[in-house]
Amino acid sequence: MPKVTYFTATSLDGYIADENNGLEWLYETPHGDDETSWERLMAESAALVIGATTYRWMIDHHPEMLTGPEQWQQFYEDRPAWVFTHATDLPAIQGTEVHFVQGDVRPVYDEVAATVDGGIWIVGGGDLVGQFDDARLLDEVVVGICPVTLGAGAPLLPRRITSERMRVLDVMRSGEQVKIRYQVDRA
């Protein structure tokens, strides 16, 4: 069973994007030089699962992705991606393996698990992460907490997961972020 990790950043008040789905606040936060959590994620992840809003943000802010795979590969190397969407107008990124899917996360998880040898990184979408947890497929949450409050936006994880299923694995400081890694029990 591939390990499923939600790796993200959040504002201090618990939002992964502002009310306009913007991430500018994240890029204004000074990051540290310690890449330990990123290197661990990249070593463990063989595939990406992405929500449609996050995917659209990526291509809107990096339109060069649509004409060639270089920018995608700079971020994600050759990892395939499964994008959950109901939209029919999302463009594919040339030279990459991007699958557009919808519906229940369980069959998509089974497809990804049969396709790749390694973990699954949920890139974005708090509700999508919640669906993976509802199906008892979420194993880890790695979150960088940034010193900014947004007041509104897309919540980090709009589900209730209690402390009886989550345990802190480690905490570290990276620049102005505090990174916390939690294990999530599937049972």
Positions of E strands within 2-139: 4-11, 15-17, 45-51, 81-84, 98-101, 119-124
For the stretch 130-185, pLDDT in tens is: 999 999 999 999 999 999 999 999 999 998 998 999 999 999 998 899 999 999 99
Q: Which domains does the chain have, with CATH numbers?
A: 4-59+103-184 (3.40.430.10)
Rounded to whole angstroms, what are the CA distances from 4 to 34, 80, 91? 23, 15, 26
For the stretch 48-88, pLDDT in tens is: 999 999 999 999 999 998 888 899 999 999 999 999 998 87
The two three-digit tokens of residue 179, written as one number: 């990174």
Q: Counting Cβ atoms within 10 Å, is residue 165 exposed (0-12), middle (13-18) or buried (19+)? A: middle
Kindly state the helix (H) or strand (E) to which residue 113 belongs, with its residue range.
helix 105-115
pLDDT at residue 135, as a whole number: 97
pLDDT at residue 124, as a whole number: 83
Amino acid at 84: F
